[in-house]
């Protein structure tokens, strides 16, 4: 429904009962297949070998950071991330073997307006294209939307990062536009694509993801029987 003020000017939906939301805490989140836990320095013991299992740096092209060259550098890298003042970095722990298999962050917290963002998604080869990659992001989204009652999540990524764009759109993020020449990253100009999920969209997205994550949607080799999109009802 369109809303207008006394001057005949179109304005947004009335939201007068909105109250400031709480800041997030460094909580551990438990899922069916993975746990999302605050990043710790000793997670380097699991992450470094997997990051080094690839012969080149292609998985780091679109990240802010560079791949640590040795274990000492990895400890230092994770120490800096885990003590970041404006972001909460999370590690994804596989419940099957307790191994840490990926990291990402949540940040840009705006409790006045109920918004936050997700970024820095860095899955190891052991985590890519597994249920954990979907469930880990779902757990954080559910924490903010269902528990803290935030109303908007953003995901910004390089417009050239096709894998991240596919991942964002797959789980329900809607593209809002492109910020042209927004950043200079690793010596190159970068357009940034902006995606979002809003509170109004979240119930349908949550239902889609939880339906896909059901154990009866996977065979005994953890292969999906039905794609995530088949659970979409919006």
Q: What is the pLDDT of residues 27-37, one digit of tens each?
A: 999 999 999 99
Cα 94 from Cα 35, distance rounded (Å): 7
Q: Which helix (H) or strand (E) holds 118?
A: strand 115-123
Q: CB count, 10 Å around CB of 44?
A: 22
11 pLDDT tier (thresholds 50, 70, 90): very high
Please list the residues that pair with 34 across neighbouring strands: 94
How many Å from the N-terminal Cα to the C-terminal Cα in the chain? 19
Parallel, antiparallel or unpaired: strands 188-198 and 174-185 = antiparallel
What local confidence, expressed as pLDDT, does residue 222 receive? Answer: 92
Residue 116 backbone phi and psi in degrees, to 5: -155, 175
Closest CA to 82 of 48, 34, 42: 42
Q: What is the pLDDT of residues 63-74, one digit of tens each?
A: 999 999 999 999
CA dihedral 197, 154, 64, 185 (to 10 degrees): 110
């Amino acid at each position: 429904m369109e809303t207008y003020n006394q001057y005949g000017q179109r304005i947004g939906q009335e939201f007068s009962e909105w109250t400031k939301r709480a800041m997030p805490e460094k909580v551990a989140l438990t899922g069916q297949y993975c746990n999302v836990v605050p990043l710790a320095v000793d997670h380097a013991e699991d992450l470094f070998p997997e990051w080094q299992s690839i012969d080149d740096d292609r998985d780091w092209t679109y990240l802010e950071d560079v791949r640590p060259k040795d274990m000492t550098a990895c400890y230092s890298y994770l120490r800096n991330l885990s003590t970041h003042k404006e972001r909460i970095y999370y590690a994804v722990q596989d419940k099957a073997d307790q191994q840490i298999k990926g990291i990402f962050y949540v940040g840009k917290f705006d409790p006045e307006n109920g918004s936050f963002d997700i970024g820095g998604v860095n899955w190891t080869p052991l985590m890519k294209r597994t249920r954990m990659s979907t469930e880990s992001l779902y757990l954080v989204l559910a924490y903010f939307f269902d528990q803290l009652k935030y109303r908007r999540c953003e995901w910004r990524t390089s417009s050239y990062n096709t894998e991240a764009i596919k991942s964002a759109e797959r789980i329900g993020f809607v593209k809002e536009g492109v910020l042209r020449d927004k950043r200079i990253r690793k010596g190159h100009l970068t357009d940034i694509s902006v995606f979002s999920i809003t509170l109004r969209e979240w119930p349908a997205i949550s239902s889609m993801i939880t339906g896909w994550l059901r154990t009866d949607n996977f065979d005994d080799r953890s292969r999906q029987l039905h794609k995530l999109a088949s659970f979409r009802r919006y």
